[in-house]
Amino acid sequence: MAYSELIKDFGRIRDYMRQFYVYGFKSRMDYTTKSARSYDNERRRIESWLGDYMSFRQDGSGKNVYLSVDSRSIASNPLYQAFKAKSFTNGDITFHFFVMDLLQGGEAYSAAEITELIASRYIAEFDGAEPLDESSVRKKLREYTELGLLTCEKRGRENVYRRSGEDIHPETWRDAVDFYAEEDPLGVIGSYLRDRTPHGTETPFGFKHHYILHALDSQILADILAAMQENRAIDICVVSHRGSKGPKEHTVYPDKVFVSTQSGRQYLLCYHYQFKKPMFFRIDGIQTVKPGAVEQSPKFAEYCARYREHLWGVSPGIGFNIDHVEMDVHVGDDEGYIIDRLEREKRCGRVEVIAEHTCRFSADVYDASEMLPWLRTFIGRIVRLECSDKSVTERFYKDLDEMLRLYGGESDAVP
Amino acid sequence: MLFHEIYGRYFAVVSEILTEAAAGTLTDAKMTELVREKAFAESTLTIPAALKNGIWPLLRPDNSTVLEHAPTMPLTTLERRWLKALLSDPRIALFAPDAAGLEDVEPLYPQDAFVYYDRYSDGDPFEDPEYQQVFRMILTAIHEKRRLRIRFKSGRGRRQSWICIPVRLEYSSKDDKFRLISFSSRNPLTINLGRIRICQLLDPYTEEEFRPKAPRRKKLTLELTDERNALERVMLHFSHFEKSTEKLDELRYRLTVTYEQEDETELLIRVLSFGPVLRVIEPESFIKLVRQRLDVQNRLRAQN
């Protein structure tokens, strides 16, 4: 099949874009899951969509292609481009413009009338142009009704189609759409709306700590949210990014989507029917979502709500045991901002001033080891660190020793 | 369905071409320019040919269109449902859009479907009318290209007044705060919106006067050891920066991150959070900052 910059299936390109964006050190030889030709085609497509953000480097392993984006300086998430590259047939595009034009005055026609009018009003002018056949028109009319572009009503025994109303005032939404197109987890929809406005990509907004990779998971997220709206279970097919394990199927009840504002990762919190417990799945590891049965009982949502009370992040630890953590932090004169920092970052923890220059943070969480990265951000201030799971404090101090060794600290680490 | 051709670049560009054609202003050169600007790099090979050769029978040979109107498209159900979902977000109060037409629309998702579990809890007061007024005033100044006088409390509690040219409103999802990025005749000025008390619209500025000061950018080189899934964690964590990565051997990678000077302290604690799997290689000044914190921590540990 001839190469095209457009694609029919989003799944394959999703993985390549992720690899180019997240890693950026891989050469053609490192992409082993598909053929070299497949790699060449996908790379060419991504270059076609995102040329301004593509970079190349040559090293011993070959030419490395990567996406480099300073997301603080962009007006729009460039990864949305992939969603705007869906392939279509010649009939699809001509039908679109003909039917929107034909019904613009508010008329309603049947499928047979639309087929005839398209042929006589538009296509007749072109010698040799193939008219659209009625069954294709009928199929497209149903599709456009599902999309919400048309409404279908009865005229006697036949269905007639009309353009949907344009009763929304898009000009009053302009700034909101500019903002949420970048900030909302399904901002790609806002990006579609922005494409329709004359001001294009010009925006009064910028974004700091702006993670853009989640855009590639938008369809999966939309499918999960649709099931949540209907209280439906879902069948998900999951691939782990860590190992080489193949895809696994799970039947779960979706409860919440956990979003990290500090890594951009999104997780599905759900109740797992087979394992009979709440679990997290990374959304970027979910390949497909199939809607299942409607869940009548609210017990799974209640179960997940109780579970959320002792989560620091997205790890349940082992056996749902609760770890107690205490960290005493030194606060110098005029360093009230440290207390403010603890307060705003404490999540399910507690903060109390225990002495003139000491503040205590404490928390009861399922997995205290998940707190280690955050605890390390207080290095230089930690007066005391205790955890009911001793391996957590051991890991903290072992890492500290290793860092002292790496950076050649002023003295040897205390054993 | 999110992934559909009606949302695609090709449909959008053809719509713009047909709009020009309906207005009688379309030329071959204009068509190529629109495709080059609005579609993908290789679209110039496909879109003009399909329109000119009658494969898509929408344009006559003289570049007029067979359509009777300039093309338009109603909002799809997906787009309406998304807009409806936004109406439940507290930040929507800043924009006050007209919700007419969405009365009977089901939101795409409820706001409580999402848990932003590591977002800081002292976000801006989006529902405060004074805050909203400041926000809208700044937005107006940006749109109308006008100067602003702002009065605010500095970090040390001192009252200040500045006349500035606003550049953009910058939002951080982690901080849940907006900041005004602006500049005055002498200096760049970045300030949290929550600190601004009074905001006043002044006269318009000229294009020549709009010379935003570029922030001071620095480079940080890190060496990463891929233990405990560090490679993926680090790459994702720093993915919002302009960066490049090089594989040194099976376990080690070199990562160069470009950052703004004012974010150095924040970057320092983010590097520390990864522990020994992430080591600063250069600059020396940054290494000193890390070493300083480690040494203080080591002394605290010895004392207790």
Confidence band for A199, pLDDT divided at 50, 70 and 90: low
Verify whether the Cβ–Cβ distance A85 to B14 is below 8 Å: no
**B279 is written with which tokens?**
């080591």
Q: Is B146 on the interface with A (CB under 8 A)?
A: no
Q: Which amino acid is at B155?
A: G
- A177-191, A199-213, A245-259: least confident range: A199-213
Q: Residue A414: is its pLDDT beyond 60? A: no
Q: Which residue of B has its CA nearest to A206?
A: B170
Residues of A in contact with B82 (CB under 8 A): 184, 186, 189-190
Cβ–Cβ gap B118/A61 under 8 Å: no
Which of A4, A189, A377 lies nearest to residue B82, judging by beta carbons?
A189
Residue A200 pLDDT greater than 70, yes or no: no
CATH of domain A323-407: 3.30.70
- Measured distance CA(B30)–CA(B248) in Å, rounded: 49
Q: Closest residue of A to B109, CA-based?
A: A225
Contacts of B53 (CB under 8 A, 6+ apart): none
The answer as to CATH 1.10.10.10 being correct for domain A90-163 is yes
Q: Alpha helices of A290-376 — where are they, by DSSP H?
A: 299-308, 336-345, 372-376
* Strands B217-225 and B196-204, bridge-based pairing: unpaired
Instruction: Check residue A93 and give left, alpha or beta (phi > 0: left; psi -120 to 50: alpha).
Output: alpha
Closest Cβ–Cβ partner in A94, A347, A403 for B276: A403
Are B95 and A403 in contact (CB < 8 Å)?
A: no
pLDDT digits (tens, 9 = 90+) for A125-168: 998 888 899 999 999 999 999 999 999 999 999 999 999 988 88
For residue A25, pLDDT beyond 80: no
> What is the CATH number assigned to the segment(s) A234-308?
2.30.30
Q: Does B88 touch chain A (CB under 8 A)?
A: no
DSSP 8-state secondary structure symbol assigned to residue B275: G
Cβ–Cβ below 8 Å for B295 and A410: yes
| CA proximity to A71, closest of A181, A211, A213 | A211
Give B280→chain A minimum CA distance, Å.
9
Confidence band, pLDDT 50/70/90 cuts, at residue A413: very low
Write down the pLDDT at residue B122: 96
Tokens 């590591």 belong to: B118
Residue B246 reports pLDDT greater than 80: yes
Nearest to B52 by CA among B41, B40, B64: B64
**pLDDT given for residue B127 in this prediction:** 94
The CA distance from B183 to B205, in Å, is 12
b vs e for A211-238, b when ≥16 Cβ sit within 10 Å of the residue's Cβ?
bbbbbbbbbbbbbbbbbbbebbbbebeb
Beta bridge partners of B181: B168, B190
How many CB atoms are closer than 10 A to CB B174?
Answer: 18
In chain A, the residue whose alpha carbon lies closest to the alpha carbon of B284 is: A407
For every residue of B237-262, DSSP letters joined together read HTTTSEEEEEE-SSSEEEEEEEEEGG
The residues with which A109 forms a beta bridge, in sequence order, are A161
A66 to B11: CB separation less than 8 angstroms, yes or no: no
Domain chopping of chain A, boundaries: 10-70, 90-163, 234-308, 323-407
From A233, A236, A270, select the one nearest A255 (Cα to Cα).
Answer: A270
Closest-CA residue to B221 (of B293, B167, B290): B290
Count CA atoms within 13 Å of residue A264 on its CB side.
26
Mutate which of A52, A56, A147 to disrupt the B interface (most B C-beta within 10 Å)? A147
Provide the mean pLDDT of chain B: 94
User: Which candidate in B126, B171, B181 is best for mutational testing of the A interface (most A CBs within 10 A)?
Assistant: B171
Residue pLDDT, tens place only, B12-57: 999 999 999 999 999 999 999 999 999 999 999 999 999 999 999 9
CB contact under 8 A, A83 and B3: yes
Verify cis geometry, omega within 30 degrees of 0, for the bond prior to B283: yes
Closest CA–CA distance from residue B85 to any residue of chain A (Å): 10
Helix (H) or strand (E) holding A238: strand A232-238
Could you tell me which of B7, B198, B9, B171 has the C-alpha nearest to residue B91? B171
> Nearest-CA neighbor of A245 among A256, A236, A237, A233?
A237
Query: Which of A70, A172, A225 faces B97 most closely, judged by CB atoms?
Result: A172
Average pLDDT on A316-342 reads 92
Instruction: Note whether A194 and A200 are within 8 A (CB).
Output: yes
Give the H or E element holding residue B198. strand B196-204
Give residue A409's pLDDT band: very low, low, confident or very high (50, 70, 90).
low
Across the range B83-90, mean pLDDT stands at: 97
When mean pLDDT is compared across A48-52, A407-411, B58-62, B86-90, the lowest value belongs to: A407-411
Q: How far apart are CA A126 and CA B58, in angstroms?
A: 9
pLDDT of A354 over the 70 cut? yes
Nearest CA among B287, B199, B95, B151 for reference residue A403: B287
The pLDDT tens digits for B142-192 are: 999 999 999 998 877 889 999 999 999 999 999 999 999 999 877 888 999
B190 close contact with A: CB closer than 8 A: no
How far is CA B189 from each of CA A26, B124, B166, B183, B230, rounded to the nearest angstrom?
Answer: 40, 19, 9, 5, 36
Q: ipTM score here?
A: 0.95
Chain A contacts of B71, Cβ < 8 Å? 97, 100-101
Question: Are A90-163 and A234-308 the same fold in CATH?
Answer: no
Closest CA of chain A from B189, distance in Å: 15
For residue A26, the one-letter residue type is K
Residues on chain B touching A403 (C-beta within 8 angstroms): 275-276, 290, 294
DSSP-derived letter for residue B279 is E
Q: Which of A48, A264, A377 lies nearest to residue B40, judging by beta carbons?
A: A48
Cβ-based neighbours of A40, under 8 Å, separated by 6 or more? A28
| Tens digits of residue pLDDT in B2-15 | 999 999 999 999 99
Q: Is the pLDDT of residue B213 over 60?
A: yes
Contact B174 A147 (CB under 8 A): no
For tokens 């391996």, name the residue.
A391
Nearest beta carbon to residue A258 from set B115, B142, B240: B115
Mean pLDDT across A1-30: 83
CB contact under 8 A, A403 and B275: yes
Nearest chain B residue to A71, by CA: B240
Q: How many Å separate Cα A64 from the centre of its chain?
A: 25
Give the N- to C-terminal CA distance of chain B in Å, as an integer: 60
Closest approach of A295 to chain B, Cα-based (Å)? 17
- Which of B197, B209, B190 has its CA nearest to residue B261? B190
